[in-house]
Structure 1
Amino acid sequence: MNRRLFLCTASALLLAVLAGPFATAADDVVPGFDEAAAAGVPVLVHVTAPWCEVCQAQKPVVAKLVGSGDFASMKKFDVDFDSQKDALQQLRVQSQSTMVLFKNGKEIDRSVGVSDPAEIEAFLRKAL
């Protein structure tokens, strides 16, 4: 019985890894993500909650950086921690104030709970 459970779990994990963070356009749980990833632009997925103090500190920093200067080509997608559970599951995110960074459609890094502007900028630079 344990062997069967292990094989089922391993198979499901392998399928999830091979499918990437978003399986198909039909499953586009973050609208617009697939198109941005296909275009090859750097992508930031920012998971926030309105009650999260760290998220509220991150938002103005991210807003100031993304879309201007060195980050002019970067696309940002917001995911609500409380209401977008499908996106959280596909991204394997377990906490609000999480930023997931993609380059050429592949996840390259993630950050949780960071609100220091210099650290956020350094994090985003990884996708350039």
Structure 2
Amino acid sequence: MNRRLFLSTVSALLLAVAAGPLASAADKVVPGFNEAAAAGVPVLVHVTAPWCEVCQAQKPVVAKLVGNGDFAAMKKFEVDFDSQKDVLQKLRVQSQSTMVLFRNGKEIDRSVGVSDPAEIEAFMRKAL
């Protein structure tokens, strides 16, 4: 087997393993995640830090949307960037102000550093 084929095969296998069941991995560090995923509700994981200005701008926008109107069924889990490193590792999040959307327990999209209310709403609509 040539080296290039071997490396691409190993890379594909590693990606498949890493992209395994996020829902079960997330539930081990974010209590309630699996229940929300099993219920079929859209889920938003919001990674924030108290010192992050973008996070502080995102929070009121997310709070206004989640649980209201079209987003009434959406479940939000907030993760602290500084103290919940295990969650960051499981979800492969590398920076604060990250929002990860799940539908039926599977990640469908993520956003980093967006604070415009219209953009946040459009992002969250992807899970509906």
Question: What is the TM-score of this pair, normalised by structure 2?
Answer: 0.86
Q: What are the residue-to-residue correspondences of 1:40-79 with 2, within 5 Å?
A: 40-79=40-79
Q: Which runs of 5+ in 1 are unaligned?
A: none
Match of 1:29 in 2: 29
Equivalent position SS for 1:23: helix
- On the 8 A contact 2:26/2:87 being kept in 1, the answer is no
Aligned equivalent of 1:16, options 8, 15, 18? 18
- On the 8 A contact 1:41/1:104 being kept in 2, the answer is yes
Equivalent position SS for 1:51: coil
Equivalent position SS for 2:19: helix
Moved more, 55-64 or 5-14: 5-14
> Residues 49-84 of structure 1: CA distance to partner in whole angstroms, max 9, x if unpaired?
000000000000000000001100000000000000
Number of aligned residue pairs: 124
> Residues 28-69 of structure 1: CA distance to partner in whole angstroms, max 9, x if unpaired?
101111110111100000000000000000000000000001
Change (3 A) 1:24 1:83: closer
CA RMSD of superposed structures (Å): 2.2
Q: Which runs of 5+ in 2 are unaligned?
A: 1-6
Aligned-pair CA distance for 1:17: 1.5
Moved more, 76-85 or 9-18: 9-18
Equivalent position SS for 1:109: strand
Q: Distance in 2 between matches of 1:115 and 1:91?
A: 21
Q: Distance in 1 between matches of 2:57 and 2:24?
A: 28
Match of 2:3 in 1: none
